Amino acid sequence: MSRSSYIFTSESVSEGHPDKVCDRISDTVVDLLLSKDPEARVACETLTTTNQIILAGEIRCAVDVSSEEIEAAAREAVRDIGYEQDGFHWKNSTFQNFLHGQSEHIAQGVDGGENKDEGAGDQGIMFGYATNETPELMPAPIQYSHQILKRMAILRKSGARPEFEPDAKSQVTLRYQNGQPVGVESVVVSTQHKDGMTQEQIRELVRPIVSEVLPEGWFPPEAEFYVNPTGTFVIGGPDGDAGLTGRKIIVDTYGGAAPHGGGAFSGKDPTKVDRSAAYACRWLAKNVVAAGLSERCTIQVSYAIGVSKPLSLYVDLHGTGQIDETRLEDALRQMADLSPRGIRTRLQLNRPIYARTAAYGHFGRNPDTEGGFSWEKTDLAEDLRKLA
């Protein structure tokens, strides 16, 4: 029997965190190639450390994209994040590009042909999740953690809070009763800052941001409000710790409140089901909850490399459902084509929309006019309501 009363914690990291810098660069490369060729194939990994940016992986594009163009895009991404420090600078860091052509053996399994639909780019399992505990239908701890850091970044970039530097982390612990969040146990924020600032000064700059994000009356007790617990955080970003693409998969998804299939998202074009099928699962789960068929919903799919159809579809409504789960599984199969091509077509994923996903979560965001976050639409909710 699942617990109804408990304490749960999630964390987020800012766009200036070393791993997120790498996610941003990798997704910028994805966007660059998709802007040239919507059918481009990209698997780009990035490593950053003190004044070093290193790219590796494989690409295929119908239009030639020079290494100089890739370098310029990567540097612009770092500049936009805000790194102009001695130990990591968008302009002065050494750049190395080891991207090469896509493996023919991978391509032969993925590409479609006269007698074969496009296959999945790899085997694996993907999950999607939604819950009614926030308006975004996301778990509250991760959603608040993201919002704290996003607000800090907005203030930093606008010049309203120049004391903040790009690297930051947040952590929110909530108290649940009857399966719903009812209050905050603790909040932790660690932020890189200008030299010469005291811990107490940074604490008072962070306080109103946390207060603005959390529901009224939810600010934690003073003894449980932790800001820069180590005292000083001046050296940060890739100069403080090396970064790699794909190391923040729980931050990217549901903050540990739901399963994750294991595959990272960033740096991958949408033929990779690690990314596109996880987006599709979130889309379906969100629509189920938006339709009022359950308070929570987890969806899993699985694939085999080179095979277009999903091998399985599983739905768990966590005992909150208004419909039989087997019936819902059958209905979702009819409503949504979950082949790699079907997902990309329905959600219009062959567009340069991925750099914006690299920080503050791939889910719980608003669909935008350029096609970003299309998997957050609730366009199936009305048809799903009829099932109940």
304 is catalytic: no
260 is catalytic: no
379 is catalytic: no
pLDDT at 367: 96
The Cα 13–Cα 278 span in angstroms is 21
pTM over 0.85, yes/no: yes
Tell how strand 52-60 and strand 84-85 pair up: unpaired
All domains of the chain, ordered by start, with CATH? 6-13+140-236 (3.30.300.10), 18-110 (3.30.300.10), 124-132+272-385 (3.30.300.10)
Q: What is the pLDDT of residues 44-88, one digit of tens each?
A: 999 999 999 999 999 999 999 999 999 999 999 999 999 999 999
pLDDT at 117: 62
Tell how strand 124-131 and strand 296-303 pair up: antiparallel
19 is catalytic: yes
List the catalytic residue out of 268, 282, 296, 344.
Answer: 268
User: Is residue 167 marked as binding?
Assistant: yes
List the catalytic residue out of 8, 11, 17, 60.
Answer: 17
169 is catalytic: yes
pLDDT at 383: 95
User: Is residue 247 marked as binding?
Assistant: yes
Reading the block at residue 37, the tokens are 């060729």
274 is catalytic: yes
Burial state string for 131-151 with b = 16 or more CB within 10 A and e = fewer than 16: bbbbebbbbbbbbbbbbbbbb
Dihedral through CA 344, CA 346, CA 352, CA 355, nearest 10?
A: -90
Residue 208, burial from CB neighbour count under 10 angstroms (0-12, 13-18, 19+): exposed
Which residues of the chain fall below pLDDT 70? Answer: 1-2, 103-117
Q: What is the largest CA-CA distance in the chain?
A: 67
Q: What is the pLDDT of residues 88-134, one digit of tens each?
A: 999 999 999 999 997 665 555 565 555 556 778 778 999 999 999 99
The Cα 352–Cα 61 span in angstroms is 14
User: Is residue 122 marked as binding?
Assistant: no
252 is catalytic: no
List the catalytic residue out of 11, 27, 252, 274.
Answer: 274
